[in-house]
Amino acid sequence: MFTGIITDIGTVLEVEQRGDLRARIGTSYDPATIDIGASIACDGVCLTVIALGSEPQNWFDVEISAESVGLTNIGRQTWSAGRRINLERALKVGDELGGHIVSGHVDGVAEVTSVRDEGDSTRVTFKAPDDLAKFIAPKGSVTLNGTSLTVNEVDGATFGVNFIPHTKVATTWGDVREGDAVNLEIDTMARYVARLREYG
């Protein structure tokens, strides 16, 4: 489990197709504090660490299944060397829950339809897949590229999020562009409420 609070911006160093896709990710995390088999959310995708190293910089390797590639933006904006990605290590008992409960299981891919500056902040509009739009509500939580965010407004399948300067610096959201494909994980509570309404 994760919180959606990004703790590092990683860089894709290498990508290789070996049956499954294998990626090496540069990080500021100390490899000595990461166990083989640990989970790290990479742009919101929960991936398992299969190798670690510190030369020429700190790095970890992950394998990405064909299913994960197909369900996430990895299949639309294939990772390549130099790509920056949001990273978060798994939540530990006793850690501060600064965002909301995030599983790292991406539900679908949203598209950035508009980016506009509003003072020092940036308002970004997204279009969600139609089957997921019902789970997104004004003032509710949503996870986009691994980041816990608050929804400002909703209009059908379109919704808006405001990014403050800190978020733009502490995550990859300062790089956002119209047309970007973004990993979307809906709020678990919203999913259960919808299910209860359907069968209650």
User: Which range of residues forms the domain containing residue 44?
Assistant: 8-89
In a domain, 168, yes or no: yes
Q: Are 187 and 141 within 8 A, CB to CB?
A: yes
Same domain as 185, residue 112: yes
Question: Residue 97: is its pLDDT beyond 90?
Answer: no
Tokens at 154, concatenated = 């909703």
Task: Give the CA angle between residues 15, 20, 26 to the nearest 5°.
Answer: 30
Count structural domains, the chain: 2
Same domain as 130, residue 61: no
Taking only the tens place, the pLDDT of each residue in 132-189 is: 999 999 999 999 999 999 999 999 999 999 999 999 999 999 999 999 999 999 987 7
Same domain as 145, residue 113: yes
In a domain, 102, yes or no: no
Same domain as 121, residue 82: no
Q: Which of helix, strand or coil describes residue 121?
A: strand
Q: Which of 128, 130, 119 is nearest to 149 (CA)?
A: 128
In a domain, 2, yes or no: no
Q: Are 86 and 167 within 8 A, CB to CB?
A: no
In a domain, 66, yes or no: yes
Q: What CATH number does residue 147 fall under? A: 2.40.30.20
Task: Give the CA angle between residues 187, 192, 197 to the nearest 5°.
Answer: 125
In a domain, 98, yes or no: no
Mean pLDDT across the chain:
92
In a domain, 3, yes or no: no
pTM here is 0.93
Distance CA 182, CA 188 (A): 18
Taking only the tens place, the pLDDT of each residue in 176-194 is: 999 999 999 998 777 767 6
In a domain, 1, yes or no: no
Residue 200, pLDDT score: 61
Same domain as 84, residue 120: no
Residue 187, pLDDT score: 86
